[in-house]
Amino acid sequence: MENVTLNNGVKMPLLGFGTYLLRDGLECEQAVLNALNTGYRLIDTAAVYYNEESVGRAIKKSNVKREQIFVTTKFLPADNGYKKAFEASLKKMGLDYIDLYLIHLPQGDINSSWTAMEELYREGKVRAIGVSNFNINQIQNLLEQHSVIPAVNQVETHPFSQKTEMQKDLKSQGIQLESWAPFAQGKNNLFKNELLKVLSSKYNKSIAQVVLRWLIQKEVVAIPKSANVKRINENFNVFDFELSADDMATIKSLDKGSGLIYSV
């Protein structure tokens, strides 16, 4: 597994497993367990996914040591009490610490939320803190008022919304870009796109694998989600080929400059 090093020295896998829409229960638990058995070491969840308990059960059932798993969860600033939200997530997953804790959306009292997260970080209860769905101006406001720089900004990133300029801005501040919805949730007929189909044939890989490889080569962390064992394995099998510079440029031409799901 390839990793990126966050701005505080913590290593984060470039490829992870997302759990959005995998509701709490056996399906989510089994999907996460399958992902861990396949080799994924980054598991992404959130309080509002209502599946943290299933994620925790899967981690316990796996034969993977806790220190080898990078667990991300998120909370909404509107949650009743920042530390209560954090403790609730810890309890549901049965964990002693979180690897990456994110503000899920830029809403409510963001500055108070970040102050509370800084405290959790300094207390060693989280290894890194970051944000999700923030634009550059919102991140800049945090930087101007706080001492701990976000380690990650998790936003919608895929071939149709590539966040190239945002990635440059984030990188200049030492912030890692992470992609949710790497397949654009299938919008714009991504899985039937003619350009991507050509690349799929050229490399003898699926369109999903080509997209994930593209993100990895751009050093964007990706967290594809699936409950299907075959697809879980397929999405992980992206480290045995490399896209050429010309093919990277071909995918760049698909960028529409704005999100299809949630614009920042």
Annotated binding site for substrate: 104
Catalytic residue at 49?
Answer: yes
Annotated binding site: 104
Q: Cβ-count burial of 97 within 10 angstroms (0-12 exposed, 13-18 middle, 19+ buried)?
A: middle
Distance from CA of residue 65 to its chain's centroid? Answer: 21
Residue 218 to residue 201: CA distance in whole angstroms: 21
> What is the helix, strand, coil percentage profile of the chain, to 5?
45, 15, 40
The DSSP code for 182 is T
Q: Cβ-count burial of 253 within 10 angstroms (0-12 exposed, 13-18 middle, 19+ buried)?
A: exposed
Q: Which of 40, 49, 82, 101 is catalytic?
A: 49
- Token code pair at residue 154: 């998790």
The residues that are catalytic are 49
